[in-house]
Amino acid sequence: DADVTQTPRNRITKTGKRIMLECSQTKGHDRMYWYRQDPGLGLRLIYYSFDVKDINKGEISDGYSVSRQAQAKFSLSLESAIPNQTALYFCATSDFGTANTGELFFGEGSRLTVL
Amino acid sequence: AQSVTQLDSHVSVSEGTPVLLRCNYSSSYSPSLFWYVQHPNKGLQLLLKYTSAATLVKGINGFEAEFKKSETSFHLTKPSAHMSDAAEYFCVVTNTGGFKTIFGAGTRLFVKA
C-alpha cells in the first residue's frame, strides 16, 4: 500500500458543487500539504499543516479550505467548485527531520475536472 | 526571495545518449535543492537532493546533479538515457527548515528509440 493515499483519484463535477479530496498517510509525519499542479506552472501550495492544531494558507488558498482531522488525515474542500479549479491535486507529507531539508513525500494525485 | 527557473520546457534525446536538464535558482540564503521525477499518472518521486554537503549529488536510476553556487545552477544529468526515463522532472528549492518551497515549471523529457 502507498504511504500517502489520496481519494478520489479522479473526479468530474459541475460548477457550484462542493467537493472534498481526502489524504491519509502511514508515514507518521507531522507535516502535511496540499498542492495544485497546472501544466507549465509546476506545483503551487494551497494549504499546509505542521500538526493537528496548525493550519496555514499557502500561495493560492482562495476558494479552498482544509481540515486536519488527525495526524494521518488532511482533507481539501472546494466549497463551490469553478472551472478554473480543474487541475491535478497532490497531497504531500514531511517530518521534522526531512522537513529541515525540505524533502516531501507525495501521493499519486487527484485529478479534478469542473464542468 | 527564492525562485527557480527550468530553462527548457521540453527536452528530447535518443536512447543511449546523455541527458541534461537545466535548472537555475535564486535564494537569499543557503538553499536546499531537489530534483523530483513524475511519471504519467503518478505522484512525484525524489531523484536526488543537495543540502550543503558534497556539491556533486548522486541520485537514483543513474542521475546526478552538481550544485554550482557561482552559477546558481543545479543541472540534472545522466550519461545514457533509457526509455523508462521519459517523464516530467521538477527542480525545487527550499529554505532551511522547509518552510518555503518553490517548484520549477517542469521539464518534460522525451526519449526516442
pLDDT tens by residue, B53-112: 788 999 999 999 999 989 999 999 999 999 999 999 999 998 766 667 889 999 999 999
Report residue A96's pLDDT band, with 50, 70 and 90 as the boundaries: low
Asked if pLDDT for residue B52 goes beyond 80, the answer is: no
Which residues of chain B lie closer than 8 angstroms to A90, CB-CB? 43-44
Asked if pLDDT for residue A100 goes beyond 90, the answer is: no
Are residues B43 and A109 in contact, defined by beta-carbon separation less than 8 angstroms? yes
In this prediction, residue A32 carries a pLDDT of: 93
Q: What is the mean pLDDT of residues A22-37?
A: 94
B38 CA: distance to closest CA in chain A (Å): 10
Q: Name which of A40, A99, A109 is nearest B97 (Cβ-Cβ).
A: A99
Here the cell at position B3 is 525562485
| CB count in 10 Å sphere of residue B84 | 10
> Chain A interface residues facing chain B, Cβ-Cβ under 8 Å?
4, 31, 40-45, 90, 92, 94, 98-104, 106-109
Here the cell at position A51 is 500538526
Choose the mutation target among B36, B39, B42, B44 for the interface with A, i.e. most A CBs under 10 Å: B44
In this prediction, residue B101 carries a pLDDT of: 85
Q: Is B95 on the interface with A (CB under 8 A)?
A: yes
Here the cell at position B66 is 552538481
Instruction: Give tens-digit pLDDT for A38-83.
Output: 988 889 999 999 889 999 999 999 999 999 999 999 999 999 999 9
Are residues A14 and A114 in contact, defined by beta-carbon separation less than 8 angstroms? yes
Q: Name which of B41, B45, B105 is nearest A41 (Cβ-Cβ).
A: B105
Which of A7, A29, A27, A30 has the alpha carbon at shortest distance from A19? Answer: A7
In this prediction, residue B40 carries a pLDDT of: 87
